[in-house]
Amino acid sequence: MNILHVSDIHYRQQYAAQTEGYQGMLGRMQSPMIPLTTCIERAKEKNTIDLLIVSGDLTEDGSPEDYAYLKQNLRDMLGEIPILVTLGNHDIKANFRQGWCQSASESSPYNQVFDAGDFRIICFDNSCHGFADGVVDERQFLWLEEILGEEDGKPVLFVTHHHLLKAQASTSAWPGADRLLDLLGNKDICAILCGHTHHAYTGTVRGIPYFTVASMSFVGEDEGNGIVRFEERYGYNLYTITAGKLTYHSAENFRPNHVLMRLDMRQ
**Which residues, at least 6 apart from 38, have a Cβ–Cβ distance to it below 8 Å?**
234, 254
Report yes or no: 132 and 27 within 8 Å, Cβ to Cβ: no
Q: What is the pTM for the complete model shown? A: 0.96
Report yes or no: 192 and 209 within 8 Å, Cβ to Cβ: yes
Q: What is the pLDDT of residue 267?
A: 75
Distances (CA, A) of 68 to 58, 112, 133, 181, 243: 11, 19, 26, 34, 34
Q: What mean pLDDT is reported for the chain?
A: 96
Spans of all domains in the chain: 2-264
Report yes or no: 72 and 64 within 8 Å, Cβ to Cβ: no
128-172: per-residue pLDDT in tens?
A: 999 999 999 999 999 999 999 987 789 999 999 999 999 899 889
Q: Which CATH architecture has domain 2-264?
A: 4-Layer Sandwich (3.60)
| CB contact burial 187-210 (16+ within 10 A = b; e otherwise) | eebbbbbbbbbbbbbeeebeebbb
181-227: per-residue pLDDT in tens?
A: 999 998 999 999 999 999 999 999 999 999 999 999 999 999 999 99
Report yes or no: 60 and 10 within 8 Å, Cβ to Cβ: yes
